[in-house]
Amino acid sequence: MTERTLVLLKPDSIQRRLAGRIISRFEDKGLNLVAMKMMRVTPELAKRHYAEHAAKAWYPSLEGFITSGPIVAMLIEGPEAIRVIREMVGATNGRDAAAGTIRGTFGSSRQLNLVHASDGPVAAKREADIFFRPEEINGFEPTLRPWVAANDEV
Annotated catalytic sites, by residue? 116
Tell me if 62 contacts ligand CDP by CB under 6 A.
Answer: yes
- Select from Mg ion, ligand CDP, none the partner in contact with residue 105, using the beta carbon and a kind-dependent cut-off of 5 to 8 Å: none
Complex with Mg ion: residue 53 or 95, whichever CB lies closer: 53
Spatial separation of the C-alpha atoms in residues 126 and 49, rounded to whole Å: 9
**Residues in 63-122 that interact with ligand CDP by CB under 6 A:** 92, 110-111, 113, 116, 119
Q: Which is nearer to ligand CDP, 13 or 113 (CB)?
A: 113
CA angle 52, 55, 60 (to 5 degrees): 105
Residue 52 to residue 70: CA distance in whole angstroms: 22
Measured at CB, which residue is nearest to Mg ion? 119
CA distance 75 to 96: 26
Q: Are 106 and 94 in contact (CB under 8 A)?
A: yes
Mask: binding to Mg ion, 101-120, rule CB under 5 A, as x and -?
A: ------------------x-
Separation of alpha carbons 103 and 92, rounded Å: 8
CA neighbours closer than 13 Å in the CB half-sphere of residue 127:
26
Q: Could you say whether residue 123 binds ligand CDP (CB under 6 A)? A: no
Task: Kindly tell me which of 80 and 96 has the beta carbon lying closer to ligand CDP.
Answer: 96
The residues binding ligand CDP (CB under 6 A) are 53, 58, 61-62, 92, 110-111, 113, 116, 119
